[in-house]
């Protein structure tokens, strides 16, 4: 008869329990055999000993029968290749397939998975997990290291095109009219008109003195020959030059001259009108389109991306990385806010549960096949050992029960015979 062979180890309590139960069942069977030998020897000494013999004899029969049945599941009893023994080793692959099919049909249906997931707060667990300082730092570090690598490995032309189109889209949506009006209005308010007017009239005075001869010549050409003979044209031109010189000097030297106020008023009005002019705004629109289409704009985007990649790489390699610190703050703030937002958690749970249930149901055949393939890859000894360790302890109770029940049945039959 096969005795327990498993070696119990502290790291394998199930194996230790199995060994203990095997010894218990085998010990009970040996005890029945010893009792039978003693009772058989002294059976004639007293009628009651016959009851012990019947009990032990039937108990041995029941114990040996159940030992055979339990052992036949895992190996050939006593090494004899009897039919329908070593059932698990011989049917290992079929057991794996049936186990996978059973698992798929009973544990991976959409209803079962959905019902189980409904009891799990996936969002809360995830938010609590991501909000832990160690996890927040780990995620931030991973994202910080990933960003420059993604930028470096991305298709530069496609990335540049995306950045250019995105920036152009944002610039294209900007309303130029209020911007132009605001800018020009602020410019007009910041202009020192007194200095401009003073400088302008200084230039006019100098220009007048530089062109005195030209003015005299034009006046002379415009007067008749009679007036020229009496030199009236020279008097007219000199008077005209003097009047113009005095007028210009007066505006230049008098800060409160009416002409200055009028000049300021007209200039500001012109700027305001210009800011609201459709033609002026059309020119702005044209300039904007030309700027976006200019090769320099593309070069600028390309240079910005290169500088951004280098900046990220340099920063993430620094012990005092600003990017890492900022990412940690953002993740921590998000986790804290998400814990207070029940609506967000409900939406996250709904989406996560739906996605997980759909994914598990879609992959149910692959998961079942994983079980079958895993069992198939195991060698026979491994399968036998794993299954026996898991259920063998309970099967030893079958042996114990069989020994005791067999003994009681034998005792009952002997009693019926004795008292008949």
- Lowest-pLDDT range of 17-21, 31-35, 103-107, 135-139: 103-107
C-alpha span between 160 and 126 (Å, rounded): 35
Unique residue bearing structure tokens 């160690």 = 134
Nearest to 187 by CA among 262, 275, 314, 279: 275
Q: Per-residue pLDDT tens for 66-99?
A: 999 888 888 888 888 888 887 878 888 888 888 8
Continuous H helices in 12-74: 13-41, 47-74
Are the beta carbons of 58 and 51 closer than 8 angstroms?
A: no
Are the beta carbons of 275 and 181 closer than 8 angstroms?
A: yes
Are the beta carbons of 398 and 34 closer than 8 angstroms?
A: no
Q: What is the rounded radius of gyration, in angstroms, for the C-alpha atoms of the chain?
A: 52
pLDDT above 80 (res 353): yes
pLDDT above 50 (res 229): no
More confident site: 386 or 177: 386
Q: What are phi and psi of 333, to 5 degrees?
A: -65, -40
Q: Domain residues of the chain, as ranges?
A: 13-90+378-419, 170-293
Query: Partners of 12 in the beta sheet?
Result: 9
Q: Residue 418's pLDDT is what?
A: 82
């Amino acid at each position: 008869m096969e005795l327990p062979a498993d070696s119990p180890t502290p790291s394998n309590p199930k194996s230790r329990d199995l060994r203990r139960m095997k010894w218990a069942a085998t010990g009970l069977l040996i005890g029945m055999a010893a009792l039978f030998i003693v009772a058989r020897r002294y059976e004639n000494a007293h009628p009651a000993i016959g009851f012990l013999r019947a009990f032990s004899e039937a108990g041995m029969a029941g114990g040996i029968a159940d030992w055979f049945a339990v052992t036949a599941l895992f190996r050939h009893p006593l090494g004899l290749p009897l039919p329908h023994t070593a059932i698990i080793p011989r049917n290992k692959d079929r057991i794996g397939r049936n186990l996978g099919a059973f698992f798929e049909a009973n544990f991976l249906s959409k209803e079962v998975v959905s019902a189980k997931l409904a009891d799990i707060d996936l969002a809360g667990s995830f938010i609590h997990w991501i909000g832990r300082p160690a996890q927040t730092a780990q995620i931030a570090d991973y994202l910080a290291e990933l960003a420059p690598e993604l930028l470096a490995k991305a298709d530069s032309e496609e990335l540049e095109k995306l950045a250019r189109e995105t920036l152009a889209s944002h610039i294209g949506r900007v309303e130029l009219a209020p911007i132009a009006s605001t800018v020009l209005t602020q410019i007009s308010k910041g202009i020192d008109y007194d200095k401009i007017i003073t400088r302008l009239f200084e230039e006019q005075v100098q220009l007048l003195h530089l062109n005195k001869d030209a003015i005299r010549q034009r006046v002379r050409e415009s007067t008749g020959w009679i007036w020229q003979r009496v030199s009236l044209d020279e008097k007219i031109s000199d008077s005209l030059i003097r009047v113009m010189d005095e007028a210009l000097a007066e505006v230049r030297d008098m800060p409160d001259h009416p002409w200055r106020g009028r000049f300021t008023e007209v200039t500001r009005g012109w700027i305001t009108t210009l800011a609201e002019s459709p033609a002026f705004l059309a020119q702005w629109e044209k300039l904007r389109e030309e700027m976006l289409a200019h090769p320099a704009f593309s070069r600028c985007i390309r240079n910005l991306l290169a500088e951004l990649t280098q900046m990220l790489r340099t920063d993430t390699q620094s012990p005092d990385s600003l990017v890492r610190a900022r990412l940690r703050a953002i993740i921590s703030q998000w986790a804290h806010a998400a814990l207070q937002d029940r609506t967000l958690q409900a939406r996250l749970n709904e989406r996560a549960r739906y996605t997980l249930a759909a994914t598990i149901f879609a992959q149910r055949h692959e998961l079942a096949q994983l079980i079958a393939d895993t069992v198939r890859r195991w060698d026979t000894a491994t399968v036998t050992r794993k299954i026996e360790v898991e259920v063998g302890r309970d099967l030893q109770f079958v042996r114990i029960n069989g020994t005791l029940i067999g003994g009681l049945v034998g005792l009952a039959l002997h009693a019926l015979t004795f008292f008949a």
